[in-house]
């Protein structure tokens, strides 16, 4: 199950990042979908929201390669 493997890898990767690393990754994300978050917006997000945003972006970016 490629999708499960991708999901597990993305979640493991994101859970290993601290808040500042997640902000940097989101601010400079270059993937299949464009993200346009300001530093101000990202700084005001709680850590769980940052985790969710980054995991969703990475998962979508990776899942597109499985088709």
One-character DSSP codes across 9-25 = HHHHHHHT--HHHHHHH
55 in Cβ contact with 6 (< 8 Å): no
Residue indicated by tokens 């902000």: 23
- The model's confidence at residue 67, banded by pLDDT at 50, 70 and 90, is very low
pTM for the model stands at 0.84
What count of residues does the chain have?
67
Give tens-digit pLDDT for 8-56.
999 999 999 999 999 999 999 999 889 999 999 999 999 999 999 999 9
């Amino acid at each position: 199950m490629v999708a499960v493997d991708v999901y597990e890898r993305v979640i493991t990767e994101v859970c290993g990042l601290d808040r500042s690393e997640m902000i940097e990754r989101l601010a400079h994300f270059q993937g299949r979908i464009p993200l346009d978050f300001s530093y101000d917006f990202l700084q005001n997000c709680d850590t769980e929201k940052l985790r969710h945003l980054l995991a969703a972006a990475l998962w979508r970016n990776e899942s597109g390669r499985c088709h």
